[in-house]
Structure 1
Amino acid sequence: MTTIPHSSRQDASQLTPGMRHPDTPAMIDGPPVHEQPWVDPVTGTRGFLVIHSLVGGLATGGTRMRPGCTLAEVTDLARRMTLKTAAFGLPVGGAKAGLDLDPHHPQALQILQRFYIAMLPWLDQHWVTAEDMGISQSDLDDVLQPLGLSTSYHAAIQRSPNPDQTLQRVLDGMATQAPGGLPLRDVIGGYGVAQACIGTARALDWNLSDTTVAIQGIGTMGGGAGWFLHDAGAEVVAIADAAGTLYDPHGLDVPALLALRDSYGEIDRAGVPDHVQRLPREAVLSLPTDILIPAALSYAVMADAVPQVQARAVVEAANSATTPEAEELLAVRGVPVIPDFVANAGAAAWTWWLLRGLVGTDPEDSFQMLSDQMQAKVAFMLAEWSESAVLPRRSALSFADTNHRALANTHMLVP
């Protein structure tokens, strides 16, 4: 067992491999430390801020905007941010905010700004937010700057010994382009999901070039994962968007298909080769593949769908992609599920590494760090799965809780 003295300032991510804790109630399962409902005085729009946990006085989590957003949804997502930050040993707690609002509303940005004015004490001192469903990072920063906040990372930046230097490092990192010309910040999350899949194949002794993958959803996570898996040599045989599933048992040309996406994120079927099969959208869940990546919707894999699932492993790219009942039924069949709060945490981990100065403007450094950490965590989970039939989620909750306890009284490590 690895131990770290209380006085050590070693990278907390090193706590993860091999560490366990007694089977006691987890701090990460406690109630939120703060919930703040809000009603827009002009339009009546409802909004919510939930701070699930604070580490060193800080919490991180994006702001989403969608019709039907609820306090229960935001609370669940805030807890998942605690799990993500704890799983990767990041010295920050978890939070989330949401607005019950169509992002196409003509006053959407004005409403968002009034929400942030109400939450300004948290944004100034404790809460680091970022883009999420319905809100881009550029819009978010445009809304915050008139409030005196340089970026949505203000609360973390202002705690560093040299805020100007930290701000410049963050701006430079966010402007970094990955190979292919896309911003690194837009692809690092999908890269992390791909590394979780590659780690799964390696841990289960599969040859990556013979490993087949089906992906439900081709947005930031699903599309990015598909691109990086194709680049690594895996066979992506199925991709599903809102219009249906595209399937080729011999492998799809993922970059070509992604290039056909329209403004709604759907692949223009007019450009799809004739030999590619067009199947119903839900067919992606039941195709004979090695890895299934649900990357579009929460609760995409439900208990009644389990008998049709033929994949040998599931890697969750969407939040809560598999219901607890479905996960248990899959386990009975010998199908492990790599949980969302590990597999899709790459963007959150990378942002905090950038804030702390652990990565900079060289994308290869970021890719290597995320690859090393993601694959180590997947290997640990699947070793316990293979040796002791421990669910990967249980293993991940164990090391996340261990990290969370160890970090509870630390301060953000920013040079």
Structure 2
Amino acid sequence: MAKNETMEGRSDASAGDAAQVIDRQAQPRVVTTPPPGDRSAELPRATAYEVAQAQFNMVADFMDLDPDLRAYLSRPQRELIVHFPVRMDSGEMRIFTGFRVHHNTAKGPTKGGIRYHPDVTLDECRALAMWMTWKCALMNLPYGGAKGGVIVDPHDLSRGELERLTRRYATEISFFIGPERDIPAPDVGTNAQIMAWIMDTYSMHRGYSIPAVITGKPVSIGGTVGREYATGLGITYVTRAVLKQRFGRGLEDIRVAIQGFGNVGSWTALSMHERGARVVAVSDRFGGVFNEKGLDIRHLMRHVQETGSVTGFAGGEPLSNRELLELPVDVLVPAALEGQITRENAPRIQASLVAEGANGPTTPEADRILEERGILVIPDIICNAGGVVVSYFEWVQGLQSYFWNESEIRRRMEQTLLDNLEAVIGVTVRRGCNLRTAAYVTAIERISEAVRVRGFYP
């Protein structure tokens, strides 16, 4: 078997993303550089954890949060760092570093993705675990937030190397996870097959199959229908509802630009396209493609399956990720990694609405700039929550060994998202704040109530 020939899908930001292991030497490369005089790349950027803490502290100030609760919720509950060996195809032994962070368990076991990426850090996992706590609370799910990852570029590994790495990482964190303790899921650089290996490894250690230990796995071993596209479809549901409520418009002929074309970005593009939106630009880590009249998303997805990138697509013109973010569109969906909209580029954003498909794509400084400019932001913890909602459904079905059909999954997901969006919009009216503040207030109030009822042990 040739190296990397069997994995499917690609990866961008959100819990539920899929990864495709591709031969990097065969892929087109688009290298973009800042224009002359642009020194933005030299400016120091806050880490994801600093952004997450700044967001929390601003809302804690706004709601005058109890100091004890503030101290308790501002830090992760527990953190694990592992260094483990993996035998490569060449016979060489390489040592990899991985993480797993639990932010809070007041409302139940923790939930959060596993990320394979060369830039994974403990601070990033802390931030993503914190954001997952707020997201789960906002969706009224009986979870706290978690996140994990391994410092690795999965595109550099063969299928065998990827499986050995996954099974060893799963073994290292096995005492940290479990169906009643911590339930991982896919994220950037991981997919359903990787979840299957983790589920199998955990089950082999216990001596019997435990499907509920993980979500985002194949349907054939206890996964749920609808999980693959849940995050992207959820973004479409929420964006459509906000457009109607705030702008009096539907998705029909809305101009959309999407940064990131992995699982989240591609399904967002397809689901919006099918509902009448004009997706004029998309991008991935290699570059982007633009068509003023709208891209043919199904043909583009086929092109990505064949080449591994959106670049070189005959149905559009090339553009950079930076250019995509600054296009004059109605809706901008940052669906790649965190920290993409910053104080440097926020003044040049031209979209009327930013729908956060990734976790933490907008820094607090950029948030203020966008608000001052009248650009509405749908925060990540509600916009991309469809993935964790359907992951919850998968977990429940796994525990009960009773499965729902696809229409039921969609109906329940849309109802959960829109019910909680309505609650957030109500807070914006009552407390005179923006959507992000309202979403955080709602989530933190729900967690705070759970903490007050349980009390502090001992």
Tell me which interval the TM-score lies in, with the shorter structure as reference length.
0.7 to 0.9
Query: Is the 2:109–2:182 contact (alpha carbons within 8 Å) kept by the matching residues of 1?
Result: yes
Residue of structure 2 aligned with 1:65, choices 106, 113, 116: 116
Residue of structure 1 aligned with 2:243, choices 171, 187, 201: 201
Residue matched to 2:41: none
Alpha carbons of structure 1 residues 206 and 284: separation in structure 2 relative to 1, 3 Å? farther
- Which stretch has the larger CA shift, 35-44 or 402-411? 402-411
Query: Is the 1:70–1:100 contact (alpha carbons within 8 Å) kept by the matching residues of 2?
Result: yes
Query: Is the 2:211–2:222 contact (alpha carbons within 8 Å) kept by the matching residues of 1?
Result: no
Residue matched to 2:185: 130
CA–CA separation in structure 2 for the residues paired with 1:129 and 1:243: 28
2:392 paired with 1:352: yes
State the 1:243 CA deviation.
4.5
Alpha carbons of structure 1 residues 388 and 60: separation in structure 2 relative to 1, 3 Å? closer
TM-score (norm 1): 0.79
Residue matched to 2:413: 370
Residue of structure 2 aligned with 1:86, choices 137, 145, 166: 137
Amino acid of the residue matched to residue 185 of structure 1?
A: R
Amino acid of the residue matched to residue 308 of structure 1?
A: R
Residue matched to 1:34: 78
Alpha carbons of structure 1 residues 280 and 101: separation in structure 2 relative to 1, 3 Å? closer
State the 1:46 CA deviation.
1.6
State the 1:305 CA deviation.
0.8
Alpha carbons of structure 1 residues 155 and 346: separation in structure 2 relative to 1, 3 Å? closer
Deviation per residue, 1:47-90 (Å, 9 max, x gap): 21111111465111122222232111111111111111111010
Unaligned 5+ runs, structure 2? 1-61, 86-92
State the 1:263 CA deviation.
5.4
CA–CA separation in structure 2 for the residues paired with 1:376 and 1:325: 29
CA–CA separation in structure 2 for the residues paired with 1:113 and 1:244: 33
State the 1:249 CA deviation.
3.3
Residue of structure 1 aligned with 2:126, choices 75, 96, 101: 75
Amino acid of the residue matched to residue 141 of structure 1?
A: A
2:229 paired with 1:174: no
Alpha carbons of structure 1 residues 105 and 248: separation in structure 2 relative to 1, 3 Å? closer
Alpha carbons of structure 1 residues 371 and 100: separation in structure 2 relative to 1, 3 Å? same
- Which stretch has the larger CA shift, 114-123 or 381-390? 381-390
CA–CA separation in structure 2 for the residues paired with 1:334 and 1:88: 27
Amino acid of the residue matched to residue 174 of structure 1?
A: G
Alpha carbons of structure 1 residues 47 and 259: separation in structure 2 relative to 1, 3 Å? same
Residue matched to 2:104: 53
State the 1:317 CA deviation.
0.5
Query: Is the 1:55–1:409 contact (alpha carbons within 8 Å) kept by the matching residues of 2?
Result: no
Amino acid of the residue matched to residue 74 of structure 1?
A: C
CA–CA separation in structure 1 for the residues paired with 2:453 and 2:403: 23
- Name the % identity: 26
Residue of structure 2 aligned with 1:147, choices 187, 193, 205: 205
CA–CA separation in structure 2 for the residues paired with 1:91 and 1:207: 34
Query: Is the 2:211–2:221 contact (alpha carbons within 8 Å) kept by the matching residues of 1?
Result: no
Query: Is the 1:129–1:153 contact (alpha carbons within 8 Å) kept by the matching residues of 2?
Result: no
CA–CA separation in structure 2 for the residues paired with 1:35 and 1:242: 30
Query: Is the 1:193–1:344 contact (alpha carbons within 8 Å) kept by the matching residues of 2?
Result: yes
State the 1:221 CA deviation.
0.8
Unaligned 5+ runs, structure 1? 1-20, 157-166, 177-183
Alpha carbons of structure 1 residues 51 and 367: separation in structure 2 relative to 1, 3 Å? same
State the 1:393 CA deviation.
1.0
Deviation per residue, 1:115-171 (Å, 9 max, x gap): 332322222451111222223232332242432363463389xxxxxxxxxx99x86
CA–CA separation in structure 2 for the residues paired with 1:278 and 1:268: 7
Deviation per residue, 1:270-308 (Å, 9 max, x gap): 542xxx443333221122111110111221111111221
User: Helix, strand or coil: the match of 1:393?
Assistant: helix
Query: Is the 1:211–1:235 contact (alpha carbons within 8 Å) kept by the matching residues of 2?
Result: yes
Residue matched to 1:296: 336
Alpha carbons of structure 1 residues 410 and 114: separation in structure 2 relative to 1, 3 Å? farther
Question: Over the residues paired in the alignment, what is the CA RMSD in angstroms?
Answer: 3.1
CA–CA separation in structure 2 for the residues paired with 1:239 and 1:189: 17
2:258 paired with 1:211: no
- Which stretch has the larger CA shift, 212-221 or 357-366? 357-366
Alpha carbons of structure 1 residues 198 and 353: separation in structure 2 relative to 1, 3 Å? same
